[in-house]
């Protein structure tokens, strides 16, 4: 009997990522949403791990960390691990934390990085930790505002990160470490070929 194969992961195209980040960056009052999605697609954090981040996780006495050690209890399988924050993301986080201060949000180390604005269907308290459900709704709303033709679930941002990282490096082991997979077999789902890969290859064959 042939072994079952995992389905190709759903990802956003480079154009869709740019559309999403461009439209969210234009709304000053929504800087939280812009940074939330930027961190997600730039680090490959799972949604539960993303909303579990505290200020102390990303900051130290010198500013925003370049390497973030995840608290084991917030990660899948409680395995812990590290994520890298690219310089562009660190700069955005500095701006965002300044914005949080202007909003009067708690900046103590144990306070959540991403906070609720309060209200909503769940009646969340302002300043409380952003829920995964609300983050999903945020992502859905901004996809519509950005005019994306396809609807993606939040986990597609993690798939997009991993696919782009593999495309850029060709190093499956590196992607395994970045995604904190227990086995490299899990990482092999990102060896799929995208339409953008085909288009880029075709360009190289032009006479």
Closest CA to 129 of 25, 57, 44: 57
Domain count, the chain: 1
Is residue 177 assigned to a domain? no
Q: Are 106 and 128 spatial neighbours (Cβ–Cβ below 8 Å)?
A: no
Is residue 53 assigned to a domain? yes
Mean pLDDT of the chain: 89
Is residue 31 assigned to a domain? yes
Is residue 58 assigned to a domain? yes
CATH code of 22's domain = 1.10.443.10
Q: Has 181 been annotated as catalytic? A: yes
Q: Has 192 been annotated as catalytic? A: no
What is the reported pTM? 0.87
Q: How far apart are the first and last CA of the chain?
A: 45
Q: Has 158 been annotated as catalytic? A: yes
Chain CA centroid to CA 79, Å: 19
List, for residues 8-49, the tens digit of each pLDDT value.
Answer: 889 999 999 999 999 999 876 779 999 999 999 999 999 999
Please state, in angstroms and rounded to a whole number, the distance separating the CA atoms of residues 145 and 151.
Answer: 12
Q: Has 151 been annotated as catalytic? A: no
Give the residue numbers spanning the domain of 57: 14-150
Is residue 178 assigned to a domain? no
Is residue 172 assigned to a domain? no
Q: Which contacts (CB < 8 Å, 24+ apart) does range 185-191 have?
A: 187/162, 189/6, 189/8, 189/9, 190/9, 190/159, 190/162, 190/163, 190/166, 191/166
Find all residues with CB under 8 Å of 200, minimum gap 6, and list them: none
Mean pLDDT lowest among 30-44, 81-95, 111-125, 193-207 = 193-207
Is residue 157 assigned to a domain? no
Is residue 43 assigned to a domain? yes
Please state, in angstroms and rounded to a whole number, the distance separating the CA atoms of residues 68 and 14.
Answer: 25
Q: Has 153 been annotated as catalytic? A: no
List, for residues 64-78, the tens digit of each pLDDT value.
Answer: 999 999 999 999 989
Please state, in angstroms and rounded to a whole number, the distance separating the CA atoms of residues 30 and 161.
Answer: 22
Of 46, 65, 129, 152, the catalytic one is: 46
């Amino acid at each position: 009997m042939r072994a079952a194969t995992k389905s190709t992961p759903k990802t956003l195209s480079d154009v869709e990522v740019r559309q999403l980040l461009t439209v969210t960056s234009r709304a000053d009052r929504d800087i939280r949403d812009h940074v939330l999605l930027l961190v997600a697609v730039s680090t490959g954090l799972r949604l539960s791990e993303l909303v579990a981040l505290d200020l102390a996780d990303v900051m130290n006495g010198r500013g925003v960390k370049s390497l973030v050690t995840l608290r084991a209890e917030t990660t899948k399988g409680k395995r812990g691990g590290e994520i890298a924050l690219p310089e562009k993301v660190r700069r955005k986080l500095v701006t965002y934390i300044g914005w949080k201060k202007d909003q009067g949000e708690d900046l103590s180390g144990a306070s959540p990085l991403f906070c609720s604005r309060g209200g909503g269907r769940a009646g969340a308290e302002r300043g409380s930790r952003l829920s995964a459900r609300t983050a999903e709704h945020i992502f859905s709303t901004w996809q519509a505002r950005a005019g994306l033709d396809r609807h993606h679930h939040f986990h597609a941002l993690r798939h997009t990160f991993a696919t782009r990282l593999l495309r850029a490096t060709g190093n499956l082991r590196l992607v395994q470490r970045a995604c904190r997979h227990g086995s490299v077999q899990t990482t092999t789902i990102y060896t799929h070929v995208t339409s953008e890969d085909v288009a880029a290859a075709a360009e190289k064959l032009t006479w």
